[in-house]
Amino acid sequence: MRRIDGSVIEKLTIDRSIDRSIINPRSTDSSTSRRLGAIEPGRLTRLLDPTILERDAPDRHLLFIEDGVLRARASVWWTASFKHAGEPVGAIGHYAADDESTGGEVLRRACDELRHAGCAMAAGPIDGNTWRPYRFVTERGTERPFFLEPDNPDDWPGHFTSAGFTVVATYASAVAEDLGQHDARRATAERRLARNGVTIRSLNCDVLDQELRRIHALSCRAFEHNFLYVPLDEQEFVDQYRRLLPFVRAELVLLAEHAGDLVGLLFAVPDILRARGSTIDTVVIKTVAAAPGRAYAGLGSVLVAEAHDRAAHMGYTRAIHALMHEQNVSRNISRRYARTFRRYALFARRLTDCRGSGLGTRGSGLGARDPGSGLGIEALNLEQTLEPGTRNLELASPESRTPDPGPRTPDPGSRIPDPEQ
């Protein structure tokens, strides 16, 4: 290990052509900046934007450099590690690799770092926590990628399994292509919620900060028992939402209230990656949450049905139910009238001996079940998946526009199904 201008760089030489470096991501000295600036991008691997490293604050950022070319990278987090069955779980994220060999070297060293930091298990890919991008696409299907969806080369999941990781949680996305589908059970749930005094309204952008802070509080309450949940700072949550404001339609962000308290949320956004000509035909339902309690049974289903109703009235023809945990209640809401088109997975392994190659999670207690205290299609992971230059994209949506209907009691006469009941 050597110290260069105040930054710590550990250099391990395998042979003359391979230089593996571990760089303190918070270092800002000129020597480190020059050294990073001289690295050429690999076939699939690029240096991360320094602002992402600063924002996500990993405990280590790992680079595999060969002949001056970046071949693999990963970050590790242990300071704010997850807990599962009482054991600390470190995160591996920001992953990219040109091939399995270089990826395996970075994953081996990531496991070493987490083991030395006291973690009993490693999970990934997770960019620090599940409020940020995490998991791999494992079954791609034929649908094109959608807005806010993670993506990866098809061989990257194999890099993790070859390094001794096994699947510990699975997820799916589905598409509803008939937004006018009927289910009489919706009316029963709406009448019950109406009797309890539950109303549904759109996001009020005039008091946005207040709305976002209420949404943050509900999300923490609804998702606190979800798999690998950790709390998110309120300001980081607000900042995540604010980055999406240019793409949000207030009519598609639904808030359910009871006696002045926020008890339900649905966040949907037009799928700006699916623009065809001058229109967008699809909305992405990214998050559904409901407060615990029998008084709110069926609320998630009613919110999804209401979102379908509004989307259809605005001229959209499809709704994507995004990134649902396979064992979460959200799958019950979706599977009755949506077609699964993509699957994803999260991986983990024990760290008893990271130098071995066959240790998975058997017997580790790291289960795949997500009890889902809320109806979370996903804990609010709102990281943008935009290509450079798309931040200034002008939203093109269907011609049919409707004003915000304002607060209302759920309408028992609506004809959108209640798939959960």
Average pLDDT, the chain: 79
Going along the chain from its start, the domains and CATH numbers come out as 2-128 (3.40.630), 175-392 (3.40.630.30)
**What is residue 156's predicted lDDT score, i.e. its pLDDT?**
98
**What is residue 22's predicted lDDT score, i.e. its pLDDT?**
55
Q: SS3 sequence, the chain?
A: CEEECCEEEEEEECCCCEEEEEECCCCCCHHHHHHHHCCECCCCCCCCCHHHHHHHCCCEEEEEEECCEEEEEEEEEEEEEEEECCEEEEEEEEEEECCHHHHHHHHHHHHHHHHHCCCCEEEECECCCCCCCECEEEECCCCCCCCCCCCCCCCHHHHHHHCCCEEEEEEEEEEECCCCCCCCHHHHHHHHHHHCCEEEEECCHHHHHHHHHHHHHHHHHHHCCCCCCCCCCHHHHHHHHHHHHHHCCHHHEEEEEECCEEEEEEEEEECHHHCECCECCEEEEEEEEECCCHHHCCHHHHHHHHHHHHHHHCCCCEEEEEEEECCCHHHHHHHCCCEEEEEEEEEEEECCCCCCCCCCCCCCCCCCCCCCCCCCCCCCCCCCCCCCCHHHCCCCCCCCCCCCCCCECCCCCCCCCCCCC
**What is residue 368's predicted lDDT score, i.e. its pLDDT?**
44
**What is residue 266's predicted lDDT score, i.e. its pLDDT?**
97
Of 1, 357, 309, nearest in space to 159 by CA: 357
The pLDDT tens digits along the chain (421 residues) read: 333 233 333 333 233 334 555 555 555 566 666 667 788 999 999 999 988 988 899 999 999 998 889 999 999 999 976 888 889 999 999 999 999 999 999 999 999 999 999 999 999 999 999 999 999 999 999 999 999 999 999 999 999 999 999 999 999 999 999 999 877 788 999 999 999 999 999 999 999 999 999 999 999 998 888 888 888 999 999 998 888 989 999 999 999 999 999 999 999 999 999 876 668 999 999 999 999 888 999 999 999 999 999 999 999 999 999 999 988 777 777 877 899 999 999 999 999 754 443 334 433 444 444 434 333 333 333 333 333 332 223 233 343 333 343 444 333 332 222 222 2
